[in-house]
Structure 1
Amino acid sequence: MSRFTSFCRTTALAVLATGTCLSAAHADSTLTIATVNNGDMIIMRQLSGEFEKAHPGIHLNWVTLEENVLRQRVTTDIATGAGQFDIMTIGNYEVPIWAKQKWLAEVQPAADYDVNDILPAVRAGLTVNDRIYALPFYAESVMTYYRTDLFKKAGITMPEAPTYEQIRQYADKITDKSNQVYGMCLRGKPGWGENMAYVTSLVNTFGGQWFGMGWKPMLDSAAWKSAINWYVSILNADGPPGATSNGFNENLALFASGHCGMWIDSTVAGGMLFDPKQSQVASKVGFAPVPKGSFGKGPTWLWSWNLAIPASSKHTQDAQTFITWATSKEYVQLVAKQKGWVAVPAGTRQSTYDNADYKKAAPFASFVLNAINTADPNGQTAQPRPYGGAQFVGIPQFQAIGTQVGQTIAAALSGQMQVDQALAAAQSSTTRTMRQSGYTH
């Protein structure tokens, strides 16, 4: 029964007297939410019954998808205006591009939501012309996780600022394949936001970049070759079998179950790796900055998973009610109460990092806050560049380009192609796409 029907039945006298039903009530709505199958979002779904209790007229229909599939589905839906979803989980890559296309509804939270509590770097990525088009569920930079017990056993110490050359040496020393312990786990699953998120940040610090001025692709440069040779070499020598099947979630599971000696990936994994309920190695995890290559500090990884409302939704007000709930200070408190402080969504609110209980439960908290606050996705590359982004390129075509190149890099990792051959193919396909898109002639 809808709120509208119920209201009219209970106000029958008013209907008889006026001939109309009072408009103070409106029909129930069902919000269809597309989200990624990451741990924090699974917790959101588990706790969403609390929202439905507080808002009995709003029902939630969840579509939880693997990362690559989610990106494909929501992009197709929003570009065609199909209106299948009322809420989408999208990244800070999509938000500015889609907002400029008028594909997203503006979000206007109430004053008690406290927009200014959202970390400035994260808020900036969701703002176009001083208007907010999504709210951040969690945000991340990148860091190195390692097993302190394995380092101690090997007689090595993680430096405060490791280099990729050192990381390779450490991986060789702690790999123990007979016991299924692999010195290095890295994303190998092809996709612009899977293997290419890591690979792009790796290439940056080796002195490479996607494009030079005039949008000339640079994927066959010496820097790209050096970075990809390092990547393929370490995973072949010290990585788990079938690395091309491993994205963020797969590597998280491998590390948490004791099979990874080191893992370079999102800072958000800390909340799971240090949680004894989710990690078998919670007491043996160390962390360090992302390693540097020969170029040093290039553009640095900054990503947020955000809840946005497509302009095609017919339930924008109820959708805003949900996304403000799921990204609020009160939601953080709810997760802390139900799952423990170590499990709360990271990287979005200053108040989380000011909380003494969170700092006590999450030894990585100040490290992550600093990594996000100092992240510089628009930082300097070895040569001038016409685009922004650290682990992606901020142009609409990058979804297609990054996915295609990601498949080529995976082919090099699996041994189907030589590195030079793979990068020549990537250069050729990217050059063709940029020419067809009108960036080059």
Structure 2
Amino acid sequence: MPVPTTGSLDRRRFLTFSGAALGAAALSGCAASVDDGSGGGGSKSGSTTLTVMSTEDEKKVIQAAGTALGIKINFVVRDETKLNAMLAAKNPPDVVRGLGAVETPYFAARGLMADLDPYFADSSVLKASDLDPVNDVWRYDGRKQGAGPRYGIAKDYSQDQMFWYRTDMFEAAKLDLPSETEPLSYDEWLDLGKQLTKRRLGKVKVYGLSAAGLGTFSMLMGMTASAGGSLFAEDLASVDLSSPEALKALTWYLEYARADIGPNVANPNPDGWDWPTYQAGRMAMACDGYWFSGAIGGDPKVAEVSRFAPAPQLGGNRVSSCFAATGYWIPKAAKNKDAAWKFFEYYFAGKPGEERAASGWGIPSLTSLRSRMPQGTEFQKQAFKVQEQELAHFSVLSFTPYAQLTALEGVINKVLPKAIKAKTSAGKVADELNRLMNEQIAQGKELVG
């Protein structure tokens, strides 16, 4: 069975990375960035060694790509602190794995990412016109995401607030199945979660709903957007969880957590992520994007009773965003940019890209590969149909360039567990989150200038 390449394991692993070395690294890296990112700086043909920083589950694929290209691969396991230190020392990897949706503004604002537009312009293999719109999260114009130079490419992606459900559990509870076309409201979703939860002697035996497999901050971002607001101010230099839209999202999450119907920051899933629990019949609904079909497809019995549904909405502004867009970027100070681009062409458009597209572990990053998405079984056909309809509601939500997701998620993990148990009002929780998060963002803004 394939390993999750865009799923909760990657995200959960990412959320545990340390961000402690960012201050000096950002300043030093920014000052040291003298290469214009337009190519050059490579070794002579036949003697190139490409340093690639990625996760362990990608090691074999990356090494095979190196073999196919005649390039020696120096594989480095992805680690946030190590990456920051290498950037600060002006000796970064040639290729870095990252989450485009939440990392691009941070690294681009510090002048640490190579502009890939010249490479796209010259390539006969990778064309900007073939890129799925999700790749716009890898763009940053100095003020917001979605415009400006391209700094990376997603390897695949999902719209991360869509959810999976088990028809057998709905039928046992005598509940109607969710619509394939009309999204549930968050209140309807919460009500279903309560009805599907099973307890024994006061303890949850079957989760009715797992609502935040991606992390709480990203979930609140999406919910606030669907209510017509934004967690970040227009200049991305502060958050405001006290706004009516954000407070509505926070209130919902507090109710979800206090209802104890699914994993949350005060009571995490002992399994570590949704799949083992869902597979074992101990979770009725899982908020995981299309990538989850790769796991489900590996178990025919679970696939038979699994269906996909649109992202729930908190208001009338239908939004279905991506909060990862896991992919790769080339540091501005990388020594082998031309070889790195050759790796990009093969990895994204060659055999590895084709195999990823057919695996069900995410929507391919290139539109030309979308026809390879699996549609052989009824479960796969239903998921593909729902996913195709959902694409119309994708939009880029800009992330702040002044803080990393790890820092903001860390504030949530510090504040929310106590607040959930003490039944603190949403307003007071919002004030505390605002204070601590805005301190983090202000510190980052000082470093960027």
Match of 2:129 in 1: 116
Contact 1:409 1:422 in 2 (8 A): yes
Match of 1:153 in 2: 172
How far the C-alpha of 1:238 sits from its partner, in A, is: 0.9
Match of 1:103 in 2: 112
Please tell me the residue identity of whatever aligns with 2:387: V
Match of 1:48 in 2: 62
The DSSP-based 3-state class of the residue aligned with 1:83 is: coil
What are structure 1's unaligned runs of at least 5 residues?
Answer: 1-22, 65-69, 379-388
Please tell me the residue identity of whatever aligns with 2:114: A
Match of 2:49 in 1: 29
How far the C-alpha of 1:111 sits from its partner, in A, is: 0.5
* Identity %, equivalent residues: 15
What are structure 2's unaligned runs of at least 5 residues?
Answer: 1-42, 142-147
The DSSP-based 3-state class of the residue aligned with 1:111 is: coil
Query: Does residue 1:194 correspond to 2:228, yes or no?
Result: no
Please tell me the residue identity of whatever aligns with 1:89: R
- Which of 281, 293, 296 in structure 2 is aligned with 1:270? 293
Match of 1:136 in 2: 154
Contact 2:52 2:93 in 1 (8 A): yes
Please tell me the residue identity of whatever aligns with 1:275: G
Q: 1:297-356 deviations in whole A, cap 9, x for unaligned? A: 2654134112111123223233222232221143233457xxxx333542412223224x
* Equivalent residue runs for 1:286-301 within 5 Å: 286-293=307-314, 295-297=315-317, 299-301=319-321
- Which of 286, 294, 310 in structure 1 is aligned with 2:331? 310
Cα distance change, pair 114–209 in 1 and its aligned pair in 2 (3 A):
closer
Contact 1:118 1:349 in 2 (8 A): yes
Q: Distance in 2 between matches of 1:90 and 1:308?
A: 7
Please tell me the residue identity of whatever aligns with 1:135: I
Q: Distance in 1 between matches of 2:421 and 2:405?
A: 25
Query: Does residue 1:284 correspond to 2:305, yes or no?
Result: yes
Match of 1:346 in 2: 363
Cα distance change, pair 239–366 in 1 and its aligned pair in 2 (3 A):
same
Contact 2:266 2:417 in 1 (8 A): no
Cα distance change, pair 281–97 in 1 and its aligned pair in 2 (3 A):
same
Contact 1:144 1:287 in 2 (8 A): yes
Length, aligned pairs only: 379
Contact 1:202 1:227 in 2 (8 A): yes
Q: Distance in 2 between matches of 1:71 and 1:299?
A: 30
* Equivalent residue runs for 1:196-345 within 5 Å: 196-206=217-227, 209-212=230-233, 217-236=239-258, 237-240=260-263, 245=268, 250-276=273-299, 281-293=302-314, 295-297=315-317, 299-303=319-323, 304-335=325-356, 341-343=358-360, 345=362
The DSSP-based 3-state class of the residue aligned with 2:363 is: coil
Cα distance change, pair 415–207 in 1 and its aligned pair in 2 (3 A):
farther
Cα distance change, pair 71–233 in 1 and its aligned pair in 2 (3 A):
farther
Cα distance change, pair 373–438 in 1 and its aligned pair in 2 (3 A):
same
Cα distance change, pair 354–238 in 1 and its aligned pair in 2 (3 A):
same
Higher RCO (Cα < 8 Å, 6 or more apart): 2
Q: Structure 2 length normalisation: TM-score?
A: 0.72
Contact 1:83 1:310 in 2 (8 A): no
Cα distance change, pair 28–212 in 1 and its aligned pair in 2 (3 A):
closer
Please tell me the residue identity of whatever aligns with 1:61: F
For the aligned residues, what is the CA RMSD?
Answer: 3.5
Query: Does residue 1:360 correspond to 2:376, yes or no?
Result: yes
Please tell me the residue identity of whatever aligns with 1:267: Y
- Which of 200, 205, 227 in structure 2 is aligned with 1:180? 205
